Structure 1
Amino acid sequence: MYRRSAAAAVLLAAALTLTACSSSGDGKADAEAAVKPKPPASSSVPDPADASPAPSAPAASVAPDAKPTGPVLPDPKLTPKTGSFKDNEKKYLSGRVPEKMDPAAVLQTGQETCQRVERTAKRDKDAATAAVISGEITGAKDAITHLCPEQKPVLAAAEKGFGDGTRTSPAPGTYRALTQSTTCTWDAKGKDGAILASGPEAPVKAGDKITATVPAGAASFTSTGCYAWIPA
C-alpha cells in the first residue's frame, strides 16, 4: 500500500511540473500580445506593423497657362541668379512666379511654349492654331504676347476658333475644321432642339476640307472628331 501511494505521488508531481511549464509559456505569449495588441478588423486604427510612411507634399509648381493662386514673388524680386531679365520677360513673369520658385524656371516654361508654337507653325500653321485652340499647347496666349510676338497671327486665328464639343449661341457663318479626319461630324440645332443643319453632307475622303455652315438662329453647334474650327 505504501509503495502504491509513493508511486502515485511521484506521477502527480510530474504532471504538475509539466502543467506549470506549459502555463509559463502561454503566459509569456499573452504578455507579448498585451504589449503589442493588433486592432480588430473593423477598427479604424492602423496596425503599426503595416503602416507605411505618409506621402510627402508635392513640390511647388505652376501650370504654364495659369497664374498661381498662392503667394507670388513681387516684381522687384523677379531676378535670375545670374544676369538680368529683359523687359518683356519681366512682364511675362509678373504675378506668375510662386514665392519659393526660381523665376528662371517659370520663364523657361514660357519659352518652351513659344518653341512648340514656332516649330508647329513652321510645318503647318493650321496645326499650330488647332493645338492652341484645343489646349494641346498650353499657355500660348501669355507666352506669345510677351515672349514670341511674331506668332501673334497664330494666336489671333485661335482666338476666333473653338474646339470640338458643344458650343452654345454660335455665331452664324461658315467654319472650317482643322482636321483631315474622315470621322468628323457636326450639327447645328435650334432652341427647340431641332436640327437646322448637319454634316458632312457628302462622304469625306482623306485630305478633304470639311466646312460647316451655322445658320442664323442656331442655339448650339456640336461636333465630334473635328478637333477645332476657325472661320472659313
Structure 2
Amino acid sequence: MHTRIPRPVRRGAVGVVALTALLALAGCSSDGDAEAKAKPTQSTSGKKATATTDSQASTPSEGPSAPASKGPVLPDAKLSPATGSFTANEKKYLSGRVPVDMDPAAVLQTGQETCQRIERTAAHDKNAAIGAIISGDLPEADAAIKQLCPKQQPLLDAAATGFADGTRKNPEPGTYQALTTAAGCTWQAMGEEGKVLAAGPGTGAGKKVTAEIPAGTRTFVSTGCYAWLPA
C-alpha cells in the first residue's frame, strides 16, 4: 500500500491556486485516477517565507533538503532493509538520514515519494515544480533528486537560480518572473535608506507578474508571489 506523506507548511506565498492544485495532484495516491480527485483550493492563510540574505541565488540544499534527523542516526553499516538490499544511490540518500529507531525503508520511501511528486507536478507545469522546490513545498528535494531521481536535475538547477517570496538582500539586478498568476502579488526594490527604486502591484489572476530589479537595489521585498525565477 502506498503511504501518503503529509505536505509541510508552505514557506512560499499564499493564495497560489494553480500551484496548490498541481501539488495536491502530485501528492495523491497512485491508486485510482489522481486527476479526477484533485480539485484546486484557494489558500487564505499561511506563513510567508524569507529568502536567504546573500547576493547569490538560494539553493534548495539550504532549506528543506537538510537531513531530517538531528538526533542519533544509524551508521551506514546498518543501513539495510528487512529483505533485499539498497542500491548504492539509495544508501547515499539514507546516509546520516535515518534515526536509530526508524526503519531505513520508511525513510527511503519518503524520498521516493518526493521524487514522484516532483515528476507528476513537472508533467503538468515545470515552473510549478521548480517553484515548489524553491519554496520548500517538496521536502528534501535536493537530496532526493541527486540520489533517487537524477533525471529531474534540470529542475533542481533551475531552482538554484531563483529565490523564494519574501525579503531578499542584495539581489542580482535583472528581470524576474513570479511563479504564480494569483492576484495580489506585489513587490518593491529598495536602495539605500529604504528608497523605493521600483515597485509593482499585482496584475490580477491569470496574468504573469514580472519584476525589474535595478542596479543599486539593496533589498527586494515581495508578497503573494510564491517564488521568483530570472525571466
Q: Do the structures match in fold with TM over 0.5?
A: yes
Structure 2 counterpart SS, 1:208: coil
Preserved CA contact (<8 Å) 1:64 1:109: no
Preserved CA contact (<8 Å) 1:129 1:158: yes
Which residue in the other structure is 1:168 paired with? 169
Which residue in the other structure is 1:8 paired with? none
Which residue in the other structure is 1:158 paired with? 159
Structure 2, unaligned stretches of length 5 or more? 1-63
Q: Which has the higher contact order (CA 8 A, sep 6+)?
A: 2
One-letter amino acid matched to 1:188: A
Structure 2 counterpart SS, 1:108: helix
Which residue in the other structure is 2:225 paired with? 226
1:113 aligns with 2:114: yes
Name the CA distance, whole Å, in 1 between partners of 2:68 and 2:207: 40
Name the CA distance, whole Å, in 2 between partners of 1:86 and 1:147: 10
Preserved CA contact (<8 Å) 2:69 2:98: yes
Preserved CA contact (<8 Å) 1:67 1:96: yes
Structure 2 counterpart SS, 1:120: helix
1:114 Cα deviation from its structure 2 partner = 0.5
Superposed counterparts of 1:120-131, under 5 Å: 120-131=121-132
Preserved CA contact (<8 Å) 2:67 2:140: yes
Superposed counterparts of 1:83-232, under 5 Å: 83-200=84-201, 204-232=203-231
Name the CA distance, whole Å, in 2 between partners of 1:64 and 1:101: 19
One-letter amino acid matched to 2:214: P
One-letter amino acid matched to 1:90: K
Name the CA distance, whole Å, in 2 between partners of 1:64 and 1:133: 11
Relative to structure 1, the CA distance from residue 64 to residue 193 in structure 2 (aligned partners, 3 Å threshold; closer, same or farther) is closer
Name the CA distance, whole Å, in 2 between partners of 1:167 and 1:136: 19
Preserved CA contact (<8 Å) 2:65 2:142: no
Structure 1 segments of 4+ aligned residues over 3 angstroms from their partners: none
Preserved CA contact (<8 Å) 1:176 1:212: yes
Query: Of Structure 1 and Structure 2, which has the larger fraction of its residues in helix?
Result: 1
One-letter amino acid matched to 2:154: P
Name the CA distance, whole Å, in 2 between partners of 1:205 and 1:136: 24
Structure 2 counterpart SS, 1:96: coil
Counting aligned pairs with the same residue, the percent is: 62
Structure 1 counterpart SS, 2:192: coil
Structure 2 counterpart SS, 1:226: coil
Preserved CA contact (<8 Å) 2:184 2:204: no
Preserved CA contact (<8 Å) 2:189 2:213: yes
Superposed counterparts of 1:35-114, under 5 Å: 65-114=66-115
Structure 1, unaligned stretches of length 5 or more? 1-62
1:205 Cα deviation from its structure 2 partner = 4.1
Structure-1-length-normalised TM-score: 0.69
Preserved CA contact (<8 Å) 1:64 1:110: no
Name the CA distance, whole Å, in 1 between partners of 2:215 and 2:101: 52
Structure 2 counterpart SS, 1:145: helix
Preserved CA contact (<8 Å) 2:119 2:152: yes
Deviations along 1:50-80, whole A, 9 cap, x unmatched? xxxxxxxxxxxxx875342221111111000
Structure-2-length-normalised TM-score: 0.70
1:155 Cα deviation from its structure 2 partner = 0.8
Higher-Rg structure is: 1
One-letter amino acid matched to 1:141: D
One-letter amino acid matched to 1:220: T
Name the CA distance, whole Å, in 2 between partners of 1:153 and 1:115: 16
